Amino acid sequence: MGTKPEQRRFRQELPLRHRLLASSRQARDRAALLPPGPERQKLLRDARLLKTTADTLSTTQLQSGRAIEVWQRDRKVALIKAPN
């Protein structure tokens, strides 16, 4: 058996919560530029999901060591695990 190649790691400059909030703001800003319609509604839904996820990260749920599942329309879109 060969050895497993070393995995490259990348350290994020901003915490996940801040990146989620920034993505939420960007989605809202893009939606504001669009006329009413399905594309705008999708961006607004995504912005709400990102904001809710960011707010959830700031609660004690993640700090207590539990994993958080993020659902959108009967479909799991993310699983966020607390760091060990």
Tell the residue number behind the tokens 């920034």, with chain if given: 22
Domain that holds residue 69: 16-80
Q: Is residue 66 part of a domain?
A: yes
31-67 pLDDT, tens digit per residue, is 999 999 999 999 999 999 889 888 877 765 555 566 6
pLDDT over threshold 60, residue 29: yes
Question: What's the domain count of the chain?
Answer: 1
Q: Is residue 38 part of a domain?
A: yes
Alpha-carbon dihedral angle through residues 3, 10, 51, 38, given to the nearest 10 degrees: -80
Query: Which residues are bridge partners to 76 per DSSP?
Result: 71
Q: Which of 14-18, 26-30, 44-48, 69-73 has the lowest mean pLDDT?
A: 69-73
Q: What is the pTM of this model?
A: 0.63
Q: Backbone phi, then psi, for 76, in 5-degree steps? A: -75, 125
pLDDT over threshold 80, residue 79: no
DSSP class of residue 64 equals T
Report d(CA 16, CA 10) in Å as an integer.
13
> How large a percentage of the chain has pLDDT more than 90?
32
Buried b (16+ CB within 10 A) or exposed e, 1-14: eeeeeeeeeeeeee
Q: Is residue 35 part of a domain?
A: yes
